[in-house]
Chains A and B, each alone.
Chain A
Amino acid sequence: MKHYINILLLLICITANAQTNVIQTIPDIDSTFTSKLTGEYFYENTHYIGEQFFNKDWTEGDILLSNGTMIYKKSLKYNGLRDELIWLNSSNYGKFKLDKSSISEFWLKNISDHDIHFKRINVRDTSLTRQPDIFAEVKVEGKLSLYIQRKVSVIGSENVRTDNTVISYDDLKNSPRYYIKLPTNQYLMLTKLRRRAFLRLFPEDKKAINKIIKDNHLKVKVESDFVKLIELMNQ
């Protein structure tokens, strides 16, 4: 009996409180504090042979904005051809190319059971002219950092006839670029993973690098081995 009275009193207490509680009537705090994504409408050109996106399907992802705020669970695609992050706005189903300057980093979740981390970096060429920022996948960060730009390039075009009309399709090919960031904040770039080309970037450490490759049975032309090599060089 005492038990029932206790429960009854607790319910009365909660109900009485709910009557004066106006929490439900104020605007949602999360939406107040959430920064807004900005970008322009993305007109998707589908006349391609090959895949222009790094992730073919819309993937859930998080974005770290340049102002330091995080935006979670957005439908995202990374376009390697244009080096742009595309956002599918679930409220109006519009596809928007997000302003690159507003994004610092982003994570594409559960791609082949992994989260892929991208970062906006500024790489300069040898002429020291300012180049636009690029989005690159973060593979290793340390004394030496390795970033991979998941670039897609047009390598040719084909004319395809459909219903008496000829449409030109561009042939696309993945052409990743490997950026190695030195402790001096300089970037070295490799377009192809070749042992000789890589060793040429570090002429003074050639012997030591060769030893690491040999001891760990690494093949520089295999991307995962190359990542491991950079990790071992950092140790």
Chain B
Amino acid sequence: MQQLALIYCNVKAENIGSEIAYLQTDRTAYIAGESVFYKLYVLDEVTKKRSELSKVGYIVLRTTNSDVALKFRVSIHAGMANGSLALPDTLTSGVYQIVAFTSAMKNLGDDHFFHKVITVANRFDKALDFKLIQSTLQDTVSSQKNSELKISTDKSIYNCGEKVMVNLGRTNSKANVSVSVFEESKIPSIYKSIVQALNDSSISRNKNQATGYYSPESKGKILRGSVVDAKTKQKIKNAIVLLSCIDTIPNLEYAVTNSNGLFQMLLSDYYNGKELFLTIKNIPVNQNWEIKTEDEFAQSEKWNPSLMPPNGNNKEYIVKSQNLVYINKSYKLEKSVNEKQQTEPRIIVPRFYYCPVITVLPSDFVPLDSFPEIAVEILPQVRLIKEKGKYHVQMVDELSKGYQKNDPAIFLDGVYLDDVNKIIGLGSEQIKKIDLITSERAFGDLVFSGAVSITTRTNEMINSKPVSYSFRVKNDNINSGANLVPDNSPPDKNSPFLRQLLYWNPSLGLNATDDTNFEFYTSDNSAKFIIKVEGISEDGTPISASSAIQVENQINVTDK
């Protein structure tokens, strides 16, 4: 019977797309103004192989008060994403929590998300009286050995500015790993290797009850929301929610709310980084409906870390880091290079129409002060009627030559307009172009009695205030630092070369036939450096290994 129940649970888990995330960062301690280089793995919870399900990942940086300091979306390809996150110079000193998850993971609750603690010190913070995470661990060589991978270097002690050659050997099957070589941190941290993280997730899995509310974002970001009555908070079913954004091309998407007043829309790449305008079509008179959208980054659980004051060693390390960053900034040595840009996918605009029937350029006529004047003088197909102080637009029916009963769709700068009165004040000075569609138009299952699309010279829609049943929300862009990688090039002998991160490669391939090697240069920073490798093989075996090298000043080496 237990077996039967387990089978049932597993089938259900597969249906909702159960995933786990693991995020490797280049280090665990930073100075504000530096970049956090990361690699995100999204794995199938059952097979532990890289998940092909989710294409969108979310990364949030939280403060100890659970306030969001930074948040961004990443594009996941074959269960992996990598990039960089620039920590603002103004970030206050303290410990921060990085949370990484996918939409499908929300079904299992916040505790199923990936969590990691990093420490950030402000460059100008001299007092250093902030608290650190209470932990006896440090981001150093892991005691847990992974038999599949052995890190070997040509030496164990290096001079400053010397080339280091690293051999990772072979793995039983093809694997993809991320490699970081960083100065051993004296800052306490809570660090889990990918092996430990996967083991822990297997243990905690059965505690969680999947809800299935969040569908996996296998084709792109899904915008979720609801339509409710603003007064009674009653959920509104079958409301048509329209979405568009500012563009020279009138564009539209729509969704219909279900019996619980919920809607969801797939947002194509076209909407990345754009401001979304949501409104409700044909809202009944005297109804006070409103749109609410879900914050995809929202987390229900607060972060309550146990903190402790820094000791002398911690402070010494932070001061050293601050000084190195100061030198690098002063000499403009903080170099990052742009990785070869991937070819941009072809972005397709969800056009409302392809070819207008009539296009009118008001500049071809004598200047007119308002849209009603324009309609009377140069748009014989359009009629404006004023009823109880509100305007209505009517279009001539192509067939009957009479006016259509229903209002046409009106677009202002590409956005479906929630209130006709917004265009009344626009005259020839503001309007660049007017496109007219005079026949009935189908957009999916919706039918519109023609369309009027107004493109302004002054981008009027940017300053437009949404009406009560409309909503304006910014759709964040995919993490823009995704192609930024640290400079792994040899040192320039004519300038200082001081680094705490010697090497970062987010995507290094390992295989069963050939040894994998990589090389980097030590800097003038004499310290112990950790080589850390984390990744996953194609058969779902986690790979985790670490090693250490010592970099010493040449004079010191000779002295020894």
Contacts and interface: CB of A to CB of B under 8 A. Distances in A.
Interface of A: 5-6, 9-10, 13-14, 17, 20-23, 25-29, 31-33, 36-41, 43, 66-68, 87, 89, 91-92, 94, 96, 99-102
Interface of A is mostly: mixed
Contacts of B211: 20-22
A89 B222 contact: no
A83 to B, nearest CB: 15
Interface residues of B, number: 45
Contacts of B256: 27, 31
5 contacts: A10-B5, A23-B213, A32-B255, A33-B266, A41-B442
Given A5-B1, A27-B255, A27-B256, 11 more contacts: A21-B211, A23-B213, A27-B257, A27-B264, A28-B258, A38-B353, A39-B442, A40-B441, A41-B442, A94-B447, A101-B354
A21 B399 CA distance: 51
A28 B222 CA distance: 12
A148 to B, nearest CB: 25
Interface in B331-366: 348, 350-355
Interface in B252-271: 253-260, 262-266, 268
Contacts of A6: 1, 4
B219 interface: yes
Contact of B439 (A22, A32, A33, A41): A41
Contacts of B441: 38-41
Contact of B258 (A20, A27, A41, A94): A27
Interface core residue of A38, A96, A102 (most chain B CB under 10 Å):
A38
B445 interface: yes
Interface of B: 1, 4-5, 8, 12, 16, 209, 211-213, 215, 219, 222, 253-260, 262-266, 268, 348, 350-355, 398-399, 437, 439-445, 447
A110 B212 CA distance: 38
B466 to A, nearest CB: 23
Contacts of B259: 25
A26 B16 CA distance: 13
A94 B444 CA distance: 11
Nearest to A43: B399
Given A6-B4, A27-B257, A32 B265 contact: yes
Contacts of A89: 442, 445, 447
B387 to A, nearest CB: 26
A102 B255 contact: no
A28 B442 CA distance: 21
B215 A40 contact: no
B265 A99 contact: no
A85 to B, nearest CB: 13
A9 B1 contact: yes
Contacts of B350: 36
Contacts of A31: 255-256
Contact of B213 (A17, A22, A32, A96): A22
A33 B219 contact: yes
A102 B354 contact: yes
Contacts of A38: 351-354, 441-444
Nearest to A25: B260
Contacts of B212: 21-23, 26
A12 to B, nearest CB: 10
Contact of A26 (B215, B444, B445): B215
Contacts of B266: 32-33
B11 to A, nearest CB: 11
Nearest to B4: A10
A36 B448 CA distance: 14
Given A6-B4, A20-B209, A27-B255, A37 B262 contact: no
